[in-house]
Amino acid sequence: MHQGKRAVVIGGSMGGLLAARALAGRYEEVTVLERDHFPAAGEHRKGVPQGRHAHGLLAQGRAVLEEFFPGLTRDLVAQGAKEGDIVEGARWYHNGGFHAQFPSGLTGLLLSRPLLEGYVRGRVTGVRLDDEGLSDLRADLVVDASGRGSQAPKWLEALGYERPAEDLVRIDLAYATRVYRRRPQDLGGNDAFVIGSNAPEARGGVVLGMEGDRWVVTLAGFLGDHPPTDEAGFLEFARSLPVPDVYDLVKDAEPLSGIVPYKFPGSQRRRYERMARFPEGFLVMGDALCSFNPVFGQGMTVAAAEAKALARCLEAGTEDLARRFFREAAALVDSPWGIAVGADLRYPQVQGPRGPVVSFVNWYVARLHVAARRDRALVLAFQKVANLMAPPPSLLAPKLALRVLWGNLKPRGAAARPPGPRQAPTA
């Protein structure tokens, strides 16, 4: 049963495309407005500046997309994407050591952003509006998924509504990314390598496999400590990371691209759920609602979860839709926002409300990473939170807290590095 004649989605990136998927079948016509021309599947698009950098689809995001597009995983794997266990097939370095590796049952998908976006876009058609084009496109529902540069606060103000309150945590993050040819012996046969943020160190990096037997290598620096984009500087930055794996890979690998930069000023959240009044027939989602520190790779998964929430809200009808959707979206965003911002606040230079709870959680998670060098239960619990499959407070469960305590009483050095490919000491 249709709930209206036309829905319009502003923005044709992942958030907008997933919103369109949630609206499909509920409106006679769904129109996606995008200023870019959509390229062929697998090609980069100007309007997605972060599209050339490392992307992976978290376990929860892959599951939601599989619901929206049955067969997605199978089809993308046939096009070269890598499906695999995010614990067994990846090395995770946090707080001075490597997490244990083992079959976790958490399945992720490694591929380039253009390949995924092209698949999801499918047969959706973008409409480009300009001064000589359409000036009035009426709709029963308009969804703003135009990204963190959304003009919705200004539009609301012009219509006599209050602007939403905004939370902004500035981190002055920058990326530098290069693509390399992948060799079977690289990284000991693992599919990914992640150096998480390790405060007070401001540098990190990630290596992810993707289609075409390629590696995408992204180096990142916080608080103005940005990776260079010249070859010598890029290599030296990789050499400076706390473990040599990324440098050992890139110093010998064959480059397949230039070095591409990207800057991210800070995490931003607009609190639409707190507004006393909001116009009917209008919603905001994706990065236009909240954009996180991209180091944590949560953006696409959160957009998928929001699209699923939109579909749920529409099942109950369109009455009071905005209030119901923003309430659900806020609950979805709370966990990844807390993960990203809480980690950013470990750096004393980052401005933001710390308080005793944030300080304790950061202290506790640092100890959890130490214990996770050997303890599989802690690795699994952490990855479920990181993959948005469990709320952050679950890490504080008494049985896990005891394991954290016990894991920090053991000698630490022996588990600092896995003894071989896809192996790990046991507790």
pLDDT in tens, the chain (427 residues): 677 889 999 998 889 999 999 999 899 999 998 876 666 655 665 555 565 667 777 888 899 999 999 999 999 999 999 999 999 999 999 989 999 999 999 999 999 988 998 888 874 444 445 545 556 788 999 999 999 899 999 999 999 999 999 999 999 999 999 999 999 899 999 999 999 867 778 899 999 999 999 999 999 999 999 999 999 999 999 999 999 999 999 999 999 999 999 999 999 999 999 999 999 999 999 999 999 888 777 888 899 999 999 999 999 999 999 999 999 999 999 988 888 888 888 888 888 877 788 889 889 999 999 999 999 999 999 999 988 889 889 999 999 999 999 999 976 544 445 444 444 333 3
Q: Which two three-digit tokens encode residue 29?
A: 């016509």
Residue with tokens 């984009």: 229
- The model carries a pTM of 0.87
pLDDT at residue number 253: 95
Instruction: Report the DSSP pairing between strands 165-181 and 214-221.
Output: antiparallel
pLDDT at residue number 348: 87
pLDDT in tens, 131-157: 455 567 889 999 999 998 999 999 999
Sheet-wide strand order for 141-144: 126-127, 27-33, 4-10, 141-144, 282-284
Burial class (CB in 10 A: 0-12, 13-18, 19+), 47: middle
pLDDT at residue number 180: 97
pLDDT in tens, 37-83: 666 655 665 555 565 667 777 888 899 999 999 999 999 999 999 99
Q: Which two three-digit tokens encode residue 24?
A: 């499909």
Instruction: Spell out the alpha helix ranges (H) of 108-158.
Output: 113-121, 152-158
pLDDT at residue number 421: 45
d(CA 395, CA 230): 41
- CA-atom Rg of the chain in angstroms: 22
d(CA 90, CA 187): 9
d(CA 313, CA 306): 10
> 45-50, long-range: CB within 8 Å, 24+ apart, which pairs?
45/114, 45/117, 47/12, 47/13, 48/13, 48/113, 48/114, 48/117, 49/262, 50/113, 50/175, 50/262, 50/294
pLDDT at residue number 419: 42
- Asked whether the beta carbons of 117 and 51 are under 8 A apart, the reply is yes
pLDDT at residue number 373: 95
pLDDT at residue number 1: 62
pLDDT at residue number 426: 38
Give me the CATH code for the 4-83+109-167+270-344 domain, please.
Answer: 3.50.50.60
d(CA 28, CA 329): 25
Residue with tokens 């990181």: 386
CA distances to 56, 179, 207, 301 from 220, rounded to whole Å, are 16, 15, 12, 21
18 sits in which H/E element: helix 14-23
Q: DSSP assignment, residue 273?
A: G
Tell me the one-letter amino acid at 147. Answer: G
Q: Which of 356, 333, 353, 335 is nearest to 344 (CA)?
A: 353
For the chain, the first-to-last Cα distance in angstroms comes to 55
- Asked whether the beta carbons of 172 and 293 are under 8 A apart, the reply is no
- Asked whether the beta carbons of 119 and 75 are under 8 A apart, the reply is yes
Question: Which DSSP string corresponds to 236-251?
Answer: HHHHTSSSSHHHHHHT
- Any idea where the domains of the chain sit in the sequence? 4-83+109-167+270-344, 169-264, 355-415
Q: DSSP assignment, residue 278?
A: -
d(CA 330, CA 333): 5
